[in-house]
Amino acid sequence: MNLGDRDEHPDTRAAAPETDEDAGTGLPVLRTWPAVYGFVAVVFLVWIGLLVAVSVRFS
């Protein structure tokens, strides 16, 4: 057994592309992936901001 030799194994396969449906998000407002990522980033900042506010308000 040679753990460094990839060519030993006979069963290789080609990478298959994802289908076209993966280009869109299927969401009503956030139609593109950058919009989804931006939304998640904004929500993340809002949570942090709220937690800082809780820390300050109730310290």
- Does 47 participate in binding other proteins (rule CB under 8 A)? yes
- Does 35 participate in binding other proteins (rule CB under 8 A)? no
Burial annotation 1-38 (CB, 10 A radius, 16+ → b, else e): eeeeeeeeeeeeeeeeeeeeeeeeeeeeeeeeeeeeee
- Binding-site size for other proteins (CB under 8 A) equals 40
Q: Which residues bind other proteins (CB under 8 A)?
A: 1-9, 11-19, 21-22, 24-27, 33, 36-37, 40-41, 43-44, 47-48, 51-52, 54-55, 57-59
